[in-house]
Amino acid sequence: MLTAGQILQLIRNGACRTRKELIEYTGLSRSTITDRVDRLIDAGYIHESGVGASGGGRPPSVLAVDAARRLLLVADLGATHARVALTDLAARPLAEESTEMRIELGPEAVLSWVRQAFERLLDRTGRPAGEVCGIGLDVPGSVDHTTGRMIRSFLMPGWDDYPVGGAIGETYDVPILVENDANAMALGEWWSSWRDTDSLILIKVSTGIGTGIVLDGQIYRGVEDAAGNIGHVRLREADDRVCTCGSRGCVASLASGHALAVDLGQESSRDVVRLVQAGDPEAIARTQEAGRTLGTVLATAVSLLNPGVLVLAGDMAETREHYLTGIREIVYRRSLPYTTRNLEIVPTSLGHQAGIVGMAVIVMEHVLSPASVDAALAARTDEAS
């Protein structure tokens, strides 16, 4: 017999829109469906959003997820920035705030800002903290997403094994999920623009290089939660440049935004973007060459996974396609024609919001999962009794 949480999934995915359709689809009795639906309505998961077509008699009420009644708080943390957003249960941002902040300041300083920014978003929108049903944070490193602890990051000194979820949980008693930033961005892009695509690879090129992989609508993390470390593939072991991981000749030490900034005598990847956008010929030439360098490794990834979409995100996605041109040139040249026949290589459609949207989707899917919904409904019953 289907649970209320499973009934909710039928409403979410559009399989059933009315009580009558639920009865016909599941074979459950009218009283059972009425009980399940009423509990979901009382708990604020769904509402009656209108009436459907009538086959005679009273028109049936249409059931839909009540996306506005519950809220999510999400944070996107990069090497040099922090962004937070308050979203509804459809992953739509209601309020946002961002600042330039170096992740190397450490977890106490960065997460203190995040907690305060969350409070400001709630105050600004006039929404109570009690409406928040889930929180998500993405970070530029490998994460044990089951515990919310950092595993490792070459860009985040002082964060290893830090309980990121636990630090936020001191303020909010809700599920708190932590994810790698490129993974979150990949899911955000897939959710927003590419849900008809079976596989998507996102490459984030900013200070470093990270990769997110979505297969059949799910993030692929790997056995050790370390999938996507393409920036640390070694291309030239004899190269003088030392990568943040301590090795020489890594893709990140040759083609990241930081590597380009060093080559061009600039402070950051954003400075490189400004030079390219201003038409600086040396910056354009080096940016295209960096794209070709990364494309060498991406050609292997394309041959291995045969994705439908390859998305470029991060600062280098703002170089007016110069970086992307280098990637396209090598990927198409070095991959078999039939593996790239239907491949789209595109810049991010969400820009700086990719991580925010992706993290909201991750939390949304968790709090609306059958197991989470059934547990929450059981807790409400226990409290009432």
> Rounded to whole angstroms, how far apart are CA atoms 116 and 108?
12
Lowest mean pLDDT of 161-170, 173-182, 212-221, 303-312, name the range: 161-170
How crowded is residue 283: how many other Cβ atoms within 10 Å of its Cβ?
23
> Rounded to whole angstroms, how far apart are CA atoms 312 and 201?
9
Categorize the per-residue pLDDT at 327 as very low, low, confident or very high, splitting at 50, 70 and 90.
very high
Average of pLDDT values for 243-260?
Answer: 86
pLDDT of residue 154: 76
Beta bridge partners, 218, equal: 215
pLDDT at 140 over 70: yes
pLDDT of residue 55: 57
More confident residue, 223 or 87: 87
Taking only the tens place, the pLDDT of each residue in 123-132 is: 999 999 999 9
Percent of the chain with pLDDT over 90: 74
SS3 34: helix
DSSP symbols for 51-71: E---SSSSPPEEEEE-TTTSE
pLDDT of residue 312: 97
Taking CA atoms, 145 is separated from 148, 150, 383, in Å, by: 5, 9, 30
> Rounded to whole angstroms, how far apart are CA atoms 374 and 173?
18
Taking only the tens place, the pLDDT of each residue in 24-70 is: 999 999 999 999 999 999 999 999 986 656 555 567 789 999 999 99
Taking only the tens place, the pLDDT of each residue in 69-120 is: 999 999 999 988 999 999 999 999 999 999 999 999 999 999 999 999 999 9
Q: Which of 238, 235, 260 is nearest to 250 (CA)?
A: 235
Taking only the tens place, the pLDDT of each residue in 259-314 is: 999 999 999 999 999 999 999 999 999 999 999 999 999 999 999 999 999 999 99
Prediction pTM value: 0.92
pLDDT of residue 228: 87
pLDDT of residue 50: 67
pLDDT at 315 over 80: yes
Q: Is 100 exposed, middle or buried (0-12, 13-18, 19+ CB in 10 A)?
A: exposed
pLDDT at 197 over 90: yes
pLDDT of residue 10: 96
Residues 132, 168 contacting (CB under 8 angstroms): no
Q: Which of 372, 377, 369, 375 is nearest to 43 (CA)?
A: 377
Write the CB contacts of 250 (distance below 8 Å, at least 6 apart in sequence).
231, 232, 233, 234, 235, 243
Taking CA atoms, 314 is separated from 156, 211, 223, 349, in Å, by: 18, 11, 26, 11
pLDDT of residue 52: 58
Alpha carbon of residue 253 to chain centroid? 25
Write the CB contacts of 237 (distance below 8 Å, at least 6 apart in sequence).
247, 248, 249
CA 169, 208, 147 angle in degrees (round to 5)? 25
Residues 137, 75 contacting (CB under 8 angstroms): yes
Taking only the tens place, the pLDDT of each residue in 155-169 is: 788 888 888 888 888
Number of H helices, E strands in the chain: 14, 14
For tokens 């470390």, the residue is: 229
